Each structure stands twice: as structure tokens, then as C-alpha cells.
Structure 1
Amino acid sequence: MSITILAIESSCDETSAAVCVDGKILSNIIASQSVHEQYGGVVPELASRAHMQNIVPVVDKALKEAGVTMSDLNAIAFTQAPGLIGSLLVGAQFAKSLALALNIPLIAVHHMQAHVLANLIDDPKPSFPFLCLTVSGGHTQIVQCDSPHEMRIIGETIDDAAGEAFDKSAKMLGLPYPGGPLIDKHAKNGDPNRFKLPEPQIPGLNFSFSGLKTAILYLLQDNTKTDPQFIEKNVDDLCASIQHRIISILMNKMKKASIQTGIKDICIAGGVSANGGLRSALKTMGETQGWNTFIPAFQYCTDNAGMIAITGYFKYLKGDAAALAVSPSARAEW
């Protein structure tokens, strides 16, 4: 008998639904929200309203694309946390209502665990145990994954996330939101060694990006005093130098984590894992360190229901279904 899971993701500003049958993702529909661009960041109230408009058509399209009906479903998986509480509520209440109507289990999924398990969607897949560098706008973590149900954070940021460092740097450069992908685009044409930026000396496997952001701010302020067109003239080199430093911080910590744990299967995940420079750096370091490296397909890097579906599938096999009274939480534990 096939196990068919419908998954819903609504943690921030993407409404997504996916269908997973026996561990294979048959559809992964994502509706993005352009309304936030004019504000330079996600507006929670607008995000919640957009989720309410998008969730029914997105779920309908996911079911149709997968070729399944409501009666085929064995469970509903949804993102419980972390995320924007209003956005999470839309997905959680829709999933709960549907599970009640169909009398099938409801599966609560931790968003960051799902990012890690996105590496198990397509072949080739890492072997357990593996290390995953999970990088997004809100999180930067090194996770040791011993099984689909056993993960622990062995390193994380003590202040800002790598994704935030990309976006805030882009804002300082005058680039529109979302700025991270634009830094990656400009960096392709720039010299990564043109501007020297500091690498924080944080002990252990933890990260810090607040000092780097301050150094970037001072660099821009000092140079624009003497040349108001400094940023415009040097935007490619600035982007390349900023990206180079953020990536070197991430890769040096992953190298240290691999040496400490002896683990050679190394993955990345999260929205920043779509960054071309990071993907290239992982492959290059993997070759020099003898790693087996794994990177999810682009559609499974940003927030998406495919990763919620695969996580829900493993939880279903374990019999880990939530009570129908479950509520979203911005501080859910791993």
C-alpha cells in the first residue's frame, strides 16, 4: 500500500504545497509574494493575507500535478515552526481542518529539520551520519544528522545569520530586496580579493556575522566620503569581496566540523544554499578535503513544501503524528 503525504509550508512569504508518495516528491508548488519588494523586507501582516489567498489554489494545483485526490491521502504534514506566527497559523489551521475532515493523521514538521532532510529527496543521497550546513535569512547552523529522526546542532550563529548578512550588505549597497541573489549575480563579474574584510575569530564551531556587517558599513562610509560614486563604480568588486568573506567563514567552520567529527558526507541546505558561490566553494573544498558533497536542487533550497513532505514521510513511518490540537510555535524545539 502506498503512503501518500500532502505537505504545506507557510513559514514566511512563500505558500507551498507538495505531494509525496512513498518518499518520492510528485509535485512541489510554490507561490511567492512580490508585495514585500516595495518595503525592503517581509511585512508579516501582508504575508499572512497572501497565504490566505494562495493556499487553496496552491494545494489544488499540487494534488492535480501529482495525480492524486483527497481520498488518496494518508496524512497531512505542515510547518509548525519556526517562522512568522501569522503565516504559520494559516498553514497550520488549513492542515488541521483538512486532516479533521479526512480523518487522517496530522504531522507537525520543524522547518529547519526539513531543510536538512531536503538532501534526502533526490539521488545521490548522503549516508548517515552526515553534516549539514543550514544557511538562511534567519539561521546559520551546522547540524550532525545521524538518522532522519536524530539531529543535533553542533555549531550555530551567536548573533546574525549568513542570509541576513547578505541581505543587509545588499541594502547598504543600495540593491533592491531581496538582495542576496543580486550580490551573487554581481559577484560573478567582480574581484573577490579587491577589498579585504575581516574573518571573525570565534572559538569552536559557532559563527558570527555582526562584526563583518559593521566592517562593511565602515568600508562604504569611509570611501563614499571622498567619492560619492564609490559604490556605483565598484559594485561588482564589493559584492565579490563580501560574498567571498561570508563563504570563507562558512567553509572554514565546515572544514573544522568535519575534522572534529570525522564525517566526510557534507551537505548544505536553506535559502543561501542556492547561492552559486557557496555551491561552487563546497564542491571545491570537497575535492581538496576528500568529502562526498551534496546540494539539493534549487527548488528544494528556498522555503518549499517538498522538504516538509519528505520529513513528514519519515515521521509517518515512525508513527510520529501530532495531536489535532497542535498549534504553530515560533520556538518549537528540535
Structure 2
Amino acid sequence: MIVLGFESSCDETGVALVCTEKGLLSHALHTQVAMHAAYGGVVPELASRDHVRRVIPLTRQVLSDANLSLQDVGAIAYTAGPGLAGALLVGASVAQSLAWSLSLPAIAIHHLEGHLLSPRLADPRPDFPFVALLVSGGHTQLMRVDDVGQYSLLGETMDDAAGEAFDKTAKLLGLGYPGGPALAKLAEQGDPTIISLPRPMLHSGNLDFSFSGLKTAVLTRLKDAQALSHVSETLSADLAAATQEAIVDVLVAKSIAALDQTGLKRLVVAGGVGANRALRQKLAVALKKRKAEVFFPPLELCTDNGAMIAFAAAQRIVRGLVDLSDQQHGFDVKPRWELAAI
């Protein structure tokens, strides 16, 4: 069966086609980064309007790329939450309208489930069970994943997510939007050993995270330097490098602790921060020493995308977790939606 998937939870419009037997057939993505850069962050109303403009052309594109038509589609999936309410409604309404017009089932997918399963689009793909480190802009969680739909929360952030720590530190340093990639690029020019920054909750004895104190520590270092008129490009680069290393050290340590706690030997990393080169390198080295495996989604699928939504729906279909006879097309979206509740 071929699944058409829509992702519109925030500032990327993603559309994809996934076959339950053959995997990903085609996908297209439009990012709104350039539009939101002028405002230093995502403007929800602008995001919603841009999804409206992009979703139909992208749908035509993925069908053309796969040499298919809507008549070849067997089910339609969409992100129902969590995310920005207006943005979610765009994808949901298009998906439900298409499903109604074609007499197809419409499958509501949890955004984070899409991220958790996205590394299984790669080759090689991880077998179940595994520990997942989910590090997106607004989420930092460790999950035990036993199968599709079987998720257990091991630990999560108590305040800022890792992605937020990257973005907020980048803003303090006067870097552009999006802050995470900008900070990572600047960090390549700095020395992480020059400035000492805390590793929050590194020795907490549990698998929870906290990154708000790290941002405060960076702010303190900047204020001290400003008082002495010592703010320079070198200082900014060293702060960026130190911040990145502190975040990565915590993520790596907690991931290893999660593997030890569960007794598992496979770690999956998902979400936008999973594209960070330093994180990938340190995890690869650390897990190789422990004779464990680490899996990442392809770089192009680390950020929000339609492929992960269509794939999550396809996996649910294969396992009989979806009632394909359900033709009820009333719907709502869930801006706040706990993964454990699905």
C-alpha cells in the first residue's frame, strides 16, 4: 500500500510517498527559515499561511517524482500534533479533505513518533528494541522503543531542550536564525577548553536533562567580558565551542546511562539536533568502545519532514494498528500531545 504523508507542525512543509513494501518513494520539503529569519524566530501566523501556499504544489511534485497519481494512494497520513495549532490545521485539513474525496482512510500521526521511527528509513536500519535519543528544537527525551506504538519514557528535559539551548545561546552571541546550525558553525573556529561551562544534571543519577542553567552561565561569561570590554570574535567562538561541547557531553553521557539501564545495545538518534556533527562523532566513538550501535536518520530527514509521517503511518498499517475501514473524516489537532497517550 502507498501512503501519502503531510507534515506541517511548525516551519517546514513536508509531503512524501511511502510504500509499505518498498519504503520511501519520494518526498519534498519546503523550509520557512528565510522567511522567519527577519523576526528571529517562527511567527505562527506566517507559518500557517506559508503552509497553505506550499502544500498542494509539493503534493503534485512528490506524485510526479514517483510517477504516480492520487488514484495509486491507499491511505493518507498527517501530523496531528504536537505543534503550532494553525500550522497543524493546514496539513490536517488538506489530508482529511483528500481522504474524504478519494474514500481513503486518514491517519493521524504523532510528530514525535515520526522522528522516533525515521532512522528506520536509513540503511542499515535499527531493529527493535532500541533506546531513542530524541533531540529536536523543543524536545529532549530518552525513550525505550520496543516496537511501533510501544514507547516508554526514560527521561526528559526539566526546562530548556537541547535545541533551545543551542538557539538561545546563539541569540546571546548575536548569531542569525536558526541559531543551532549557526552556533555549530561558529564552534568550529573556537576552543572548547578555554571557557569552563557547567554540565547540568550530568551526575543526577537519573536520565533527565536540564539546559537552562547552561544558557545562564553563557550570559554571565558574556556580561563579565562586556564589563572588561573583552568581547571579541575569538571569545564568541570559544563560547560557542564550549556550549556545544557541554550539551553534547550531557547527551552522550545520558544516552550511555540509558543503554546501561535498559541493557540494550542499540541507540537511535532522531530530531534536528541529530544533524549536529559533534554529537554524531562523540556518540559514534563512545558507543563503539562499548560495543553498541548508534543509528541516525539521513541528514535530509533530521528536520521535520513528510517522509517520517508517511513512514510512521505505513508501519502502523503493517502491524494492524490502523482501522483502514474507518471513513470518518471529522478531525481535530493536538498542539499538546503526550507520546505515551497514543
Scaled by the length of structure 1, the TM-score of the pair is 0.96
Aligned match of 1:206? 208
1:161-212 deviation per Cα after TM superposition (whole angstroms, max 9, x unaligned): 0000000000000001101001111222221111100112334100001111
- Greater displacement, 171-180 / 316-325: 316-325
Aligned match of 2:331? 326
- Distance in 1, matches of 2:330 and 2:232, equals 52
Aligned match of 1:20? 18
Number of aligned positions between the proteins? 331
Amino acid at match of 2:85: I
- Greater displacement, 119-128 / 75-84: 119-128
Cα deviation, residue 265, structure 1: 0.4
Aligned match of 1:39? 39
Amino acid at match of 1:13: D
Structure 1 SS opposite 2:109: strand
- Distance in 1, matches of 2:313 and 2:88, equals 16
Structure 2 SS opposite 1:314: helix
Contact 1:109 1:308 in 2 (8 A): yes
Cα deviation, residue 231, structure 1: 4.1
Aligned match of 2:316? 315
Aligned match of 2:227? 225
User: Hey, which bits of structure 1, 4+ residues long, moved more than 3 A?
Assistant: none
Scaled by the length of structure 2, the TM-score of the pair is 0.94
Q: How does 1:163-312 map to 2 (within 5 A)?
A: 163-201=163-201, 202-228=204-230, 230-312=231-313
Contact 1:220 1:231 in 2 (8 A): no
Amino acid at match of 1:44: P
1:39-73 deviation per Cα after TM superposition (whole angstroms, max 9, x unaligned): 00000000000001111101110111111110000
Aligned match of 1:82? 82
Amino acid at match of 1:291: A
1:116-173 deviation per Cα after TM superposition (whole angstroms, max 9, x unaligned): 1001112111121101100011100001100012112111001110000000000000
Contact 1:8 1:77 in 2 (8 A): yes
The percent identity for this pair of structures is 44
- Consecutive unaligned residues of structure 1, counting only runs of 5 or more, are none
Contact 1:130 1:264 in 2 (8 A): yes
Aligned match of 1:140? 140
Aligned match of 1:49? 49
1:91-130 deviation per Cα after TM superposition (whole angstroms, max 9, x unaligned): 0000000000000010110000110100111211112110
- Distance in 1, matches of 2:173 and 2:104, equals 50
- Superposed CA RMSD in Å reads 1.2
Structure 2 SS opposite 1:31: strand
- Distance in 2, matches of 1:82 and 1:203, equals 29
